[in-house]
């Protein structure tokens, strides 16, 4: 199957962008959950998952949680531990959920919102696909190649059914937006950056949202994804490597060129004259947030003296990279080939994250395992 990835809930929405100062309510019962804490969480675009209300359940499982009415359509989630229920909220509506804790994620019922019920059906449909794929993965009656082909066919069939049964006649709905961003194995099922048919359907949803909610940030977010897909599919980008021995001798490095968040092709050699940290990373990896904070400290301290960072993302999810690097001050570029890129072999990168230090003359001076103190090494080159 294709590699897809993006952060789940890169999109959220329901049905109104009107300003409302009231509250929405989620109530009901989660039984067999006495003395557990039920959280109501907001799935945001840029800040991740934000808890907004909670309650410790008693034996009867009754609850009533509230949140401020969103100025834009949003997605929310009820959660106990790893069990969760996805909900699309519009304005001041009241949604009623009934479930038992052991079957909370897929055995619940919902009233008061047809959109939330459609999302429930989408989650059930995806769960069926996941079970089928797990069974196929362990079926030794087929070769690895046959299983891969069958798995890809199952995913394609799933997408076809979702497009026709859930999206086609209700493109303005939050459930259609939700469907476009469903995840399978940590990767997006719909891939508008590589699949022209997926791009066509997401573009139709984007157009419908633009007509109905032209000022919503979520609408603009989807428009950005469509624009990225168009650029990517219009002309496949080739990896630019400078392997000519004379050029390597002149620069002291093997050059590379990748696009930044605005789509501008930026070469490593364009930073000549600075001390450069060439950093291969993946924003989706555990610990990336802490590492980014440490790198930001170095950048703020040394950038005024001529220190730069050329950070190459190897994430399989380009949208995740776009979100994570949007506010970073250094040069962030995206390697579409990911960990399969030849540039990793050329630089002999065997683990991620991994970095190199390059001096002002564009000479490669040290690699990660030879730098006991990165701040000191930067100081010496400056």
Find residue 68's DSSP bridge partners.
23
Mean pLDDT score of the chain: 84
- Give per-residue pLDDT as tens, 181-201: 998 877 889 988 888 889 888
pTM for the full model? 0.58
Tokens 């555990």: give the residue.
286
- Does residue 361 or residue 98 have the better pLDDT? 98
pLDDT number for residue 247: 36
The pLDDT of residue 65 is above 70: yes
Q: Of the spans 121-130, 209-218, 227-236, 335-344, which averages the highest pLDDT?
A: 121-130
The SS3 of residue 42 is: strand
Query: Can you tell me the mean pLDDT for 340-349?
Result: 82
Query: Can you tell me the mean pLDDT for 14-36?
Result: 75
How far is residue 12's CA from residue 74's CA, in Å, rounded to a whole number?
A: 5
Predicted confidence band of residue 263 (pLDDT cuts 50, 70, 90)? confident
Residues contacting residue 152 through CB under 8 Å, at least 6 positions apart: 1, 2
How far is residue 29's CA from residue 23's CA, in Å, rounded to a whole number?
A: 20
- Does residue 38 or residue 323 have the better pLDDT? 38
pLDDT number for residue 137: 86
73-77, 96-100, 116-120, 306-310: segment of lowest average pLDDT: 73-77
Name the CATH superfamily, with its identifier, for domain 240-381.
Glutaredoxin (3.40.30.10)
Predicted confidence band of residue 252 (pLDDT cuts 50, 70, 90)? low
56: its two tokens: 């410790």
Residues of the chain with pLDDT > 90, as a percent, come to: 45
Q: How is 258-325 classified by DSSP, letter by letter?
A: EE-TTS-EEEGGGGTTSEEEEEEE-TTSTTHHHHHHHHHHHHHHHGGGTEEEEEEE--S-HHHHHHHH
Comma-separated ranges of CATH 3.40.30.10 domains in the chain: 240-381
- Give per-residue pLDDT as tens, 171-183: 889 999 999 999 8
pLDDT number for residue 187: 80
Comma-separated ranges of CATH 2.60.40 domains in the chain: 23-188
Query: Can you tell me the mean pLDDT for 210-232?
Result: 85
How far is residue 265's CA from residue 254's CA, in Å, rounded to a whole number?
A: 16
CATH level 3 topology of 23-188:
Immunoglobulin-like (2.60.40)
How far is residue 37's CA from residue 107's CA, in Å, rounded to a whole number?
A: 19
The pLDDT of residue 37 is above 90: yes
270: its two tokens: 């364009």
pLDDT number for residue 362: 86
- Give per-residue pLDDT as tens, 275-314: 999 999 988 777 778 888 889 999 999 999 999 999 999 8
- Give per-residue pLDDT as tens, 133-165: 999 888 888 888 888 889 889 999 999 999 999
- Give per-residue pLDDT as tens, 2-24: 333 333 333 333 333 334 458 99
How far is residue 312's CA from residue 289's CA, in Å, rounded to a whole number?
A: 16
């Amino acid at each position: 199957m294709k590699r897809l990835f993006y952060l789940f809930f890169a999109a959220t929405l329901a049905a109104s962008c009107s300003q409302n100062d009231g509250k929405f309510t989620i109530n009901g019962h989660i039984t067999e959950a006495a003395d557990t804490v039920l959280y109501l969480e907001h799935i945001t675009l840029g800040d991740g998952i934000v808890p907004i209300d909670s309650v410790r359940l008693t034996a009867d499982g009754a609850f009533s949680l509230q949140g401020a009415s969103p100025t834009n359509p949003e997605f929310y989630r009820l959660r106990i531990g790893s069990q969760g229920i996805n909900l699309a909220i519009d304005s001041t509506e009241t949604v009623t959920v009934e479930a038992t804790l052991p079957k909370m994620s897929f055995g619940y019922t919902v009233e008061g919102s047809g959109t939330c019920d459609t999302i429930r059906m989408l989650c059930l449909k995806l769960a069926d696909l996941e079970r089928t794929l797990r069974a196929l993965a362990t079926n030794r009656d087929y070769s690895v190649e046959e299983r891969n082909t069958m798995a890809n066919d199952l995913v394609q069939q799933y997408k076809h059914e979702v497009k026709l049964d859930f999206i086609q006649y209700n493109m303005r709905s939050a459930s259609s937006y939700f469907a476009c961003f469903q995840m399978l194995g940590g990767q997006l099922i719909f891939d508008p950056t590589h699949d022209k048919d997926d791009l066509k359907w997401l573009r139709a949803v984007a157009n419908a949202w633009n007509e109905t909610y032209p000022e919503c940030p979520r609408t603009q977010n989807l428009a950005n994804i469509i624009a990225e897909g168009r650029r990517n599919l219009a002309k496949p980008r080739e990896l630019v490597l400078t392997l000519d021995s004379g050029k390597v001798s002149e620069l002291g490095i093997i050059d590379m060129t990748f696009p930044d968040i605005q789509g501008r092709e930026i070469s490593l050699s364009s930073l000549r004259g600075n001390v450069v940290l060439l950093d291969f990373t993946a924003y989706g990896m555990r610990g990336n947030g802490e590492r980014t904070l440490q790198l930001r400290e170095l950048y703020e301290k040394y950038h005024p003296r001529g220190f730069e960072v050329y950070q190459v993302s190897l994430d399989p999810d380009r949208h995740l990279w776009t979100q994570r690097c949007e506010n970073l001050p250094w040069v962030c570029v995206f390697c579409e080939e990911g960990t399969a890129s030849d540039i990793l072999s050329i630089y002999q990168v065997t683990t991620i994250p991994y970095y190199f230090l390059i001096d002002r003359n564009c000479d490669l001076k040290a690699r990660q395992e030879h730098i006991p103190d990165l701040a000191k090494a930067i100081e010496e080159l400056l």
